[in-house]
Structure 1
Amino acid sequence: AGFELISECLHMGKSVLAKPVLGQGEQDANALALRQLKVADTIESLDLNAIRRWLNNCPSRQAIIYPDVAEALVDWVLDGNYNNPDALARRLWQQTSSA
């Protein structure tokens, strides 16, 4: 349940079955976010039957279009409005959409 490959898959509209690496809290958090956002499926352990079921019923997904975060961050820094990062985060999430 690493971040980069899954982000790329979601951006391309590919179905994802993620398994967090044991003891990696960030991967547990990623898996939880994927489930809560309903954008990918997760498993807690490598289970051949669970993987077969997922492959046989692999859901189709729409691509997720992300905003240009780098440009938004540069603009945010240049504007000097460092007091409200939550507003920046909300604005960026609102710009995220499905293709």
Structure 2
Amino acid sequence: MAKPTRSTGTPRYAAESSVTFNRTERVLAFMVGGIIGLGLLCFIATIVMWLVAPDARASMPWPVVLAIPLYGFPIGMLLLFVLLGVVWTRRARENRTSH
């Protein structure tokens, strides 16, 4: 598992203990954001294409642009569930060790 990195705040003066950020969680979060963001952009581009040039559906690159939301949104949701599982597992371990 990836080594956690400490936050930049000093724990001596902070009201709460410093939070650890796991590299795996950060990568998963950026992957979820990137895939869902790209899917939304392609979805908006598809709507604009249908309004402006409805005959261009069969020409390239529109089949690819149409396919990205179809595959991107389910993959993004699966990665979101994986991220939630990783975070919940880490927090459960931290709670077990703190008591």
User: TM (normalized to structure 1)?
Assistant: 0.27
Larger radius of gyration: 2
Structure number having the greater strand percentage: 1
User: TM (normalized to structure 2)?
Assistant: 0.27
